[in-house]
Structure 1
Amino acid sequence: MRVLYLLNISNPDRLSADSGWIFADLLAPALADAGAEVTVAAPAPAGDARCGFHQTKVPGTKYRARFSADIDELVALIRAEKPDVAGPLLHGRVLGVGGSRPDHSGSRREAASGARPA
């Protein structure tokens, strides 16, 4: 399977602090271990030597990294790579970051505090 991992880095000056880059750097080699042919499209390489890399523009601000994309570049990249799967991998949802998690009792406050209903 050919995977095109589209990564918007919102902290290019400190990759070690960019959660998206960290996640891609861990996930891309794991996908390669599973037999996928992985190409990371990002302003900086992620993954290991088995992962292909397509350099994209560094966004001017962290907000532009999230909300703007060069559609013409994206279309050309998808046509060139011909991936089976393409897209940003939503690391926040996979890791449960950025939101409360359901605890099946309906109370998000209790889930966040660790308290369990009696």
Structure 2
Amino acid sequence: MADSSASESSAVQAEALRFVREAGRVRVQGDLLRSSIESLSDLSLPMPDGQTPGTRLEIALGSVGRIDTAGVAFLLGWQAEAAAQSVTVRYTHPPKAMRAMMRVYDLDDWMVVEGVS
């Protein structure tokens, strides 16, 4: 039962997500956990102003504290949204846990990743 309490406690203490739009980049800050994603009022990609079809968009993950499978799925949703607008996504400085999940779920061919956190 103590394990259950620890899990619930860490879910409550998830750092809120923030997205900072810059030219050609969205910086993600906080924890990409199911609990923090569920608290968002808008799940859509915060596309930077001036981002046009045929361009690349960097999703900067260097300020992400924790990530779970819901966080990876969330990023894949953003990637699909960008692809629908003919924008190519690349992720920079992903957390080590994300790289591990990408290997486990065989996403290396789906998600372009640069740099290591």
Q: What's the TM-score once normalised by structure 2's chain length?
A: 0.34
Greater relative contact order (CA < 8 Å, ≥ 6 in sequence): 1
Larger Rg: 1
Q: What's the TM-score once normalised by structure 1's chain length?
A: 0.34
Higher fraction of strand: 2
